[in-house]
């Protein structure tokens, strides 16, 4: 199964999908799945711009609204996580995960689903210690502080992921696991991103919670973004656990050479000649779990933002719920706090026993036919297309997908419970009445505001620069990819030279 991995999206879906189509044409392949590692920017209407934490000059609608309103359909099944530049109000509607548009699936704040039998997990947002131990307290309309705190990872969501016991094939995060840079070409990374040096030396580059998840989950693949650079690492988990680094990394870090016992050394017992013909046992290092880590850039010219890998499918079931994750969600749902204060969770042993009981309960439902693990194609828009000025109140929607999911597994829905249903007319405001009165005057008023001008989408691509893309299987070391043809099919454009926000 061919899987295309994208770093930061920044609303450039047309360019990403167009690049994948060109790779297919050039290589004679068919991509089966697209994974996007955050900063997706699922902006439906201008109201969502008010909920995205970026400076005003970067508030552009991007391509997503065309997919959301059904003018375009995603040409590939797509799975993504959230980053730190998102339409956070929309993603919150789908806290447990769901379709943001036809054929585009959000993993939720934390989640695991299966695609053709592959277990794909993810954690949205970035780490900030100030909010890590708090509940999900943010409510619309977000103030400036809540615009940022809402995308900060919460310990509750990490703890849910830490309960996973079954093997994980692929995991997505936006920021990196802390310390991962020490298992790749650190010298090359620091030549490209010189300002990382201080954090690298303090072992502060990346996320501590992601480090814990990396240690616990040991997935076959871990994909990330956020730092706008391509970086690959092949991590042996024995080395990860023991902090065993290469001589080159030790030299950069200023650490002494590490004395390690040769794991391939064969111990010879002179008193026992009976097993002379036996083959030597595999070394401990050969048996250690290995994770292939890859972080990619954002979609811009001469950037390494895309890579296609080949991972064997296990089934042809498409999108299915993961039974273990459903059991974890049921077991931990009582501790989901919507207040600043977290709800304490029980000890791990007690929690694991509860999860085991919930898994048995779900198994019984599955056997009786009362539980269907097939993810339903139940996307429906909640926000209407809008050209109204931004001084109206931002609507809060009750998303039917979240309601359906909670009913499916038998938990209380806590997300936007008092919100308006889809397609409801927006509530009138005093400004609406004022506008109506103005329209009755004989002198016509100019209704086009500066705010509206600032959020218009620029659909014109201003470059024909080559698109950087990786088309080889996931490397063990960072490689420079070859440019591809930029004659994009259909409505797809080439990456724009227009600058994007680099700051976190």
Examine the pLDDT at 502 and tell me if it is beyond 90: no
Q: 77: closest CA among 120, 39, 41?
A: 120
Domain locations in the chain? 2-259+283-427+462-484
* Range in 128-142, 207-221, 398-412, 479-493 with the lowest mean pLDDT: 479-493
Average pLDDT over residues 233-257: 96
> Which of 76-85, 213-222, 278-287, 437-446 is the least confident region?
437-446
In this predicted structure, what is the pLDDT of residue 287?
74
DSSP string, 294-355: EE--BSSTT---EEEEE---S-S--EEE-HHHHHHHHHHGGG---SSSPPPPPPHHHHHHHH
Q: Range with the lowest mean pLDDT among 22-26, 94-98, 140-144, 434-438?
A: 434-438
Q: Which of 223-232, 370-379, 417-426 has the lowest mean pLDDT?
A: 417-426
% the chain with pLDDT above 90: 73
Q: Which has the higher per-residue pLDDT, 12 or 393?
A: 12
List, as one string, the DSSP characters of 157-202.
HHHHHHT--S--SEEEESSPBTTGGGGB-HHHHHHH-GGGHHHHHT
pLDDT in tens, 454-466: 323 333 333 323 3
What is the model's pLDDT at position 468?
A: 37
What confidence score (pLDDT) does residue 488 get?
Answer: 36
Q: Please give the pLDDT value at position 385.
A: 78
So what's the pLDDT on residue 196? 97
Query: How much is the average pLDDT of 393-400?
Result: 92
pLDDT band at 281 (very low <50, low <70, confident <90, very high): low
Over residues 413-417, the mean pLDDT reads 97
Q: What is the mean pLDDT of the chain?
A: 84
In three-state secondary structure terms, 262 is: coil
pTM, rounded to two decimals: 0.82
Reported residue count of the chain is 504
Q: Does the pLDDT at position 442 exceed 50? A: no
Can you tell me the distance from the alpha carbon of 1 to that of 169, in angstroms, rounded to the nearest whole number? Answer: 13
> In degrees to the nearest 10, what's the CA dihedral of 410, 414, 420, 423?
-50
Q: What is the pLDDT of residue 325?
A: 98
User: Position of tokens 């042996």?
Assistant: 236
| Per-residue pLDDT at 481 | 37
Model confidence at 177: pLDDT above 50: yes
């Amino acid at each position: 199964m061919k899987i295309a991995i994208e770093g930061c999206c920044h609303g450039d879906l047309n360019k990403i999908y167009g690049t994948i189509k060109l790779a297919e044409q050039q290589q004679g392949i068919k991509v089966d799945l697209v994974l996007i590692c955050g900063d997706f920017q699922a902006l439906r209407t201008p109201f969502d711009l008010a909920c995205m934490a970026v400076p005003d000059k970067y508030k552009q609608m991007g391509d997503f609204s065309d997919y959301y309103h059904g003018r375009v359909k995603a040409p590939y099944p797509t799975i993504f996580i959230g980053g730190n530049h998102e339409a956070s109000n929309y993603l919150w509607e789908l806290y447990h995960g769901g379709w943001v548009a036809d054929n585009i699936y959000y993993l939720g704040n934390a989640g695991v689903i299966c695609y053709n039998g592959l277990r794909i997990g993810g954690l949205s947002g970035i780490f900030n210690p100030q909010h890590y131990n708090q509940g999900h307290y943010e409510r619309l309309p977000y103030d400036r502080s809540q615009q940022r705190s809402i995308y900060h990872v919460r310990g509750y969501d990490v703890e849910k992921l830490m309960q996973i016991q079954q093997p994980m094939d692929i995991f997505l995060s936006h920021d990196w696991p802390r310390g991962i840079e020490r298992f790749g070409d650190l010298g090359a990374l620091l030549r490209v991103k010189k300002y990382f040096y201080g954090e690298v030396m303090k072992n502060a580059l990346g996320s501590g919670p992601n480090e814990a998840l990396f240690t616990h989950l040991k997935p076959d693949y871990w994909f990330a973004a956020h730092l706008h650079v391509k970086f690959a690492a092949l991590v042996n988990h024995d080395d990860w656990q023991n902090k065993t680094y290469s001589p080159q990394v030790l030299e950069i870090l200023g650490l002494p050479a590490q004395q390690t016992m040769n794991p391939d050394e064969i111990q010879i017992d002179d008193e026992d000649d009976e097993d002379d013909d036996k083959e030597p046992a595999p070394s401990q290092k050969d048996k250690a779990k290995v994770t292939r880590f890859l972080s990619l850039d954002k979609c811009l010219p001469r950037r390494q933002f895309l890579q296609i890998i080949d991972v064997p499918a296990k089934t042809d079931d498409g999108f299915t719920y993961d039974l273990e994750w459903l059991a974890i969600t049921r077991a931990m749902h009582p501790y989901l706090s919507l207040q600043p204060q977290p709800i304490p969770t029980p000890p791990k042993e007690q929690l694991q026993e509860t999860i085991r009981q919930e898994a048995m309960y779900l198994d019984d439902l599955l056997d009786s036919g009362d539980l269907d693990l097939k993810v339903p194609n139940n996307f429906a828009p909640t926000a209407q297309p809008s050209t109204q000025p931004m001084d109206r109140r931002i609507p809060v929607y009750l998303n039917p997908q979240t309601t359906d999911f909670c009913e499916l597994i038998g938990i209380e829905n806590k997300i936007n419970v008092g919100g308006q249903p889809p397609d409801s007319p927006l509530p009138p405001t005093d400004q609406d009445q004022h506008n109506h009165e103005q329209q009755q005057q004989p002198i016509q008023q100019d209704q086009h505001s500066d705010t509206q001008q600032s959020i218009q989408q620029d659909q014109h691509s201003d470059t024909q620069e080559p698109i950087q893309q990786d088309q080889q299987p996931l490397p063990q070391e960072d490689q420079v990819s070859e440019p591809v043809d930029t004659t994009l099919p259909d409505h797809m454009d080439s990456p724009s030279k227009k600058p994007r926000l680099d700051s976190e």
